[in-house]
Amino acid sequence: MQFWFEFASTYSYPAALRVETLACRHGVPLEWKAFLLGPIFQAQGWNDSPFNLFPVQGRYMWRDLERICADLELPFRRPSQFPRHSVLAARIACRFAAEPWLPDFVRAVFRANFAEDRDIAQPEVLEHSLNELGLPGAKLLERARSPEGKTPLRARTEQAVTLGIFGAPSFIVGDELFWGNDRLEAALAWAARSLDQTVNTALKPEPPG
C-alpha cells in the first residue's frame, strides 16, 4: 500500500502516526510517498488551503481533528500558523525515501507541526528532528536542498496528479484510491484481501493435464 502524505495537511497527521502499526498488523507492505498539495490546489484555482478559503469547513475540521486525536490518544496542539510551508520537509522525505529512518523522521515532523506547534518550514527545526534520530542533520539537509534533491519531489507531485490524487492523506492499493485518514482501515482491508488472493493464486495447484 502506498501512503501519500503532505506535511502541512491536518488529517495526514493522525494517518502518519498510525499507518505503520496498522499496516504491520495486516501484513501489508508500506511505501511512504511525500508530496505537495499546493500545486494541486493551485491547479483548481485555490491559492490557499480549502480550510482557510472556506472558514465554516475550517472551523469544523479543527474540532473534528481535535476529537480524532483525543480518541487515538495522540497529542494535539492547533498550529499557530496554517498551513505551514512543507517543501523542505517533503524534499527530505522524497530524497531519502528508501532510508530505514524515514518513517521516524516523518512522524517527528508531523509531531513538530501538530503537537508541538513548531515551524517545520525552518531548516533548524528539521535539522533538529534529524539530529534527534542520531543522523547528521546538517549534511542531510544540504543534500535535500541541492538541485538533485528537488527533482524527486517535483516528479512525485506530478505522479500524484496522474494517479488522481487531490487531497491528503491518500492511500493507493493497485488501481484503487482511498482518500482521508478515515479511509485507512478500508484501504488496508483492500490491500490485505488483494494479498490473500495473490497468495491463493500462487499456491493453487496446476490443473491436471
Rounded distance, CA 37 to CA 47, Å?
Answer: 11
Residue number, 33 or 111, with CB nearest to a copy of itself: 33
Residue number, 74 or 97, with CB nearest to a copy of itself: 74
Residue number, 24 or 53, with CB nearest to a copy of itself: 53
Minimum Å distance from CB 182 to a copy of itself? 5
Minimum Å distance from CB 187 to a copy of itself? 10
Rounded distance, CA 90 to CA 22, Å?
Answer: 23
C-alpha cell of 169?
Answer: 492523506
Please tell me the number of Cα atoms within 13 Å of 102 on its side-chain side.
18
Rounded distance, CA 17 to CA 168, Å?
Answer: 14
Residue number, 67 or 78, with CB nearest to a copy of itself: 67
Rounded distance, CA 19 to CA 32, Å?
Answer: 10
**Interacting residue ranges for a copy of itself, rule: CB under 8 A:** 44, 54, 56-57, 59-60, 63-64, 67, 71, 164, 166-167, 176-180, 182-183, 186
Minimum Å distance from CB 172 to a copy of itself? 12
Minimum Å distance from CB 50 to a copy of itself? 10
Residue number, 14 or 152, with CB nearest to a copy of itself: 14
Rounded distance, CA 170 to CA 161, Å?
Answer: 12
Give the DSSP H/E element, type plus range, for residue 5: strand 2-5
Minimum Å distance from CB 168 to a copy of itself? 13
